[in-house]
């Protein structure tokens, strides 16, 4: 029946103020009102419909994405939306498009690396979308190893130009979104060569296509790299391949904020330190962490609602079967993911603050917090994207067979999200960067340099190396101090163990290569500590609303104790807890699942996602799953006729064939 809320009974169980939780999730009342208004505006507009997206052939899918992007721009202009509102609208359109890279990478690169004069020239054009840009860094042969890029930019003092060239097949730019068919310009990263010397990788603004007929300019070979994983998903994006055959650009199209080349071909460093380039990287990675909480929460919302609707087994005397969400095995898999969504949301909020703080310090030539910010964003990008990709797939499995249907929304969500594990830095490589930061921090402990920020716990290294957990009963694991010290001791001891093993190698780089797997584990432990500590800090704030703080405490307990249980070998191996204390943590974890259960549906309602944004029949707000699944099945193109195309050519001859016994 239309209009019936099949999850109404679940919503009546909520022991907290759901409206206040929506504000906590959004970050502030302003952010809640903004997201609520814009998401509903998009959901109510037929121009943004997702109907049949996963069934469209690639060319039609891509053309439909171009239509939506153009329509979104039209609505942004008509409604006179602010930049913040426009960004929100593009998010809720929920379709990967060239605009993502134009606004998310091309413009920030010019803002971060261009001189004031270059920004005055290029940004007005980009803001009005009179040019469309992308970010061309990754090559066919090199991704994470940016210093290994092969594209060259050789300065010619005779003409005051750079010659951009792709000397090898593997130097072809490969993967940039928006490059394949749309972008008119790109920020291209190439090896700067002047006066016969290679000065490493630098950014250049390069025009790729004519602004008259959109054809590639002379010397530019550009196209799409082909179909990617999943139906719909990232196939709406024109990820591209690009190569140059001695393409000339004016000297002033080198991004010159931190380094310049004079007319005579002399390379000079500007007064602005090169570390400023990391500001853009910190911005992009903190955005990725925020996106992780969105993707995880979408998957969890679908799986939670469906787990409450779906019933299997357990019926007695003809009564109803048991709700799947009541099975402890389902709770053990689902509730930690729900807790992770909240945890990632709060650490994302903190990273946003960190980026603002770092930016203000950089403007004042204070670079003291930059190494930590770089390590934080690298490590948390790696941790959250890996956990989210795994979490989305787990949610698909939590939905049983129906989770495999495109109409569940989960296969496409996974296919759209999973590239985050490798873009902006491969996740294992990023954790190795964190490990280097940790090893450097430990090496400086005896020098009097006090560790600050997320590594400040290292300043208590002697205590953390010797202390033992004083947990005596399961409830003791609810104390934030008990949990925090456990994570600090585990991280400190794993890092110190790596540092000791590294010291046994005469060549430190050889040691890093040999101990890479251990170093990654130490980095992950450190990043999990950051998430737990920021969650605990969140709970120390004034949180209004009936029962809201209590539910957040339950979720924090589930996240931290689940991590403790999952990585119990680390906590036991470092000697901080005993096996008995580990068992008590698991007992408390099960008790927290029982406390969470009545509030599960309302906790995902607090994400405030429209059915349009979720794009899932299984995750519908009203829980009316089965009639809608049945209805959707008949919309498949295969069901347009009773007899399939190809029946008469291939199936009928099989059915009508005369079988004869072979004579040997």
Q: Phi then psi for 464, rounded to 5 degrees?
A: -70, -25
**Nearest alpha-carbon partner for 236 in 415, 96, 90:** 96
Contact 348, 290 (CB under 8 A): yes
The yes-or-no answer on residue 462 being catalytic is: no
Q: How many residues does the chain have?
A: 664
User: What residues contact residue 203 under an 8 Å CB cut-off, 6+ apart?
Assistant: 109, 113, 187, 188, 189, 254, 255
Contact 253, 204 (CB under 8 A): yes
Neighbours of 333 (CB within 10 A): 17
Find the radius of gyration of the CA atoms of the chain.
27
- DSSP string across 527-566: HHHHHHHHHHHHHTS---STTHHHHHHHHHHHHHHHHHHH
In angstroms, the Cα distances linking 384 to 21, 56, 174, 288 are 22, 31, 25, 9
Sign of the C-alpha dihedral computed for residues 615, 619, 622 and 627 taken in this order:
positive
Angle at 629 between CA 624 and CA 630, to 5 degrees: 110
Contact 20, 549 (CB under 8 A): no
Binding-site residue set for FAD? 138, 177
**Nearest alpha-carbon partner for 402 in 84, 619, 639:** 619
Angle at 358 between CA 352 and CA 359, to 5 degrees: 90
Dist CA 70 CA 54 (whole Å)? 20
Residue 384, classed as helix, strand or coil, is: helix
Helix or strand (DSSP H, E) at 280: helix 277-309
Dist CA 455 CA 299 (whole Å)? 32
Neighbours of 241 (CB within 10 A): 19
Dist CA 26 CA 582 (whole Å)? 34
Q: What is the 3-state secondary structure (H, E, C) of 309-368?
A: HCECCCCCCCCCCCEHHHCHHHHHHHHHHHHHHHHHHHHHHHHHHHHHHHHHHHHCCCCC
Q: Which ranges of 44-180 would DSSP assign to H, the alpha helix?
A: 58-78, 83-93, 98-101, 107-113, 116-127
Encoding tokens for residue 271? 């007064």
Binding-site residue set? 138, 177
Residue 573, classed as helix, strand or coil, is: helix
* Catalytic entry in 20, 95, 394, 424: 424
Catalytic residues: 424
């Amino acid at each position: 029946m239309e209009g019936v809320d099949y999850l109404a009974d679940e919503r009546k169980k909520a022991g907290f103020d759901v409206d206040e939780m929506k504000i906590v999730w959004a970050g502030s009342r302003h952010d809640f009102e903004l997201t609520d208004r814009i998401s509903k505006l998009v959901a109510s507009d037929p121009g943004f419909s997702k109907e049949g997206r996963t069934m469209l052939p690639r060319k039609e899918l891509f053309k439909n994405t171009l239509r939506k992007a153009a329509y979104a721009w039209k609505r942004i202009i008509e409604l006179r939306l602010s930049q913040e509102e426009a960004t929100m609208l593009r998010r809720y359109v929920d379709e990967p498009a060239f605009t993502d890279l134009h606004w998310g990478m091309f413009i920030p690169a010019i803002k971060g690396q261009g001189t004031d004069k270059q920004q005055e020239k290029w940004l007005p054009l980009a803001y009005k979308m009179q040019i469309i840009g992308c970010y061309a860094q990754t090559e066919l042969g090199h991704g994470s190893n940016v210093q290994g890029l092969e594209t060259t930019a050789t300065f010619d003092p005779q003409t005051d130009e750079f010659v951009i060239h792709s000397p090898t097949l593997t130097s072809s730019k490969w993967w940039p979104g928006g490059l394949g068919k749309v972008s008119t310009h790109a920020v291209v990263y190439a090896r700067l060569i002047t006066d016969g010397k290679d000065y490493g990788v630098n950014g250049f603004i390069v025009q790729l296509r004519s602004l008259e007929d959109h054809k590639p300019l002379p010397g530019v070979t550009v196209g799409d790299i082909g179909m990617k994983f999943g139906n719909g998903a990232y196939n709406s994006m024109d990820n591209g391949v690009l190569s140059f055959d001695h393409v000339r650009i004016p000297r002033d199209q080198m991004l010159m904020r931190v380094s310049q080349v004079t007319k005579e071909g002399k390379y000079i460093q500007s007064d602005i330190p090169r570390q400023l380039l990391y500001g853009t990287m910190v911005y992009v990675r903190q955005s990725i962490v925020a996106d992780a909480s969105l993707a995880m929460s979408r998957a969890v919302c679908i799986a939670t609602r469906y787990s409450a609707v779906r019933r299997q087994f357990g019926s007695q005397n003809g009564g109803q079967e048991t709700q799947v969400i009541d099975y402890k095995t389902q709770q053990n898999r689902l509730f930690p993911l729900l807790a992770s969504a909240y945890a990632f949301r709060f650490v994302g909020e903190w990273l946003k603050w960190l980026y603002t703080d770092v930016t203000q310090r950089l403007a004042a030539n204070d670079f003291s917090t930059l190494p930590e910010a770089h390590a934080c964003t690298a490590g948390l990008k790696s941790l959250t994207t890996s956990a989210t990709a795994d979490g989305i797939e787990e949610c698909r499995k939590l939905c049983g067979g129906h989770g495999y249907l495109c109409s569940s929304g989960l296969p496409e969500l996974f296919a759209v999200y999973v590239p985050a594990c490798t873009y902006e830095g491969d996740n294992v490589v990023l954790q190795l960067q964190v490990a280097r930061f940790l090893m450097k921090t430990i090496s400086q402990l005896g020098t009097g340099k006090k560790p600050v920020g997320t590594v400040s716990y290292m300043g208590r290294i002697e205590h953390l190396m010797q202390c033992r957990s004083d947990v005596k009963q399961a409830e003791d694991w609810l104390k934030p101090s008990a949990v925090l010290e456990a994570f600090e001791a585990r991280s400190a001891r794993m890092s110190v163990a790596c540092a000791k093993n590294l010291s046994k190698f005469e060549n430190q780089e050889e040691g890093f290569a040999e101990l890479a797997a251990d170093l990654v584990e130490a980095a992950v432990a450190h990043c999990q500590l950051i998430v737990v500590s920021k969650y605990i800090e969140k709970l120390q704030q004034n949180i209004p609303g009936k029962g809201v703080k209590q539910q957040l405490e339950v979720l924090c307990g589930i996240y931290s104790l689940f991590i403790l249980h999952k990585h119990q070998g680390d906590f036991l191996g470092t000697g901080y807890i005993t096996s008995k204390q580990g068992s008590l943590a698991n007992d408390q974890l099960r008790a927290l699942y029982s406390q969470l259960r009545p509030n599960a549906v309302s906790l995902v309602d607090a994400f405030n996602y429209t059915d349009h944004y979720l794009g899932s029949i299984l995750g519908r707000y009203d829980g009316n799953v089965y009639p809608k699944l049945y209805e959707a099945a008949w919309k498949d193109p295969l069901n347009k006729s009773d007899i399939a195309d190809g029946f008469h050519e291939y199936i009928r001859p099989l059915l009508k064939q005369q079988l004869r016994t072979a004579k040997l």
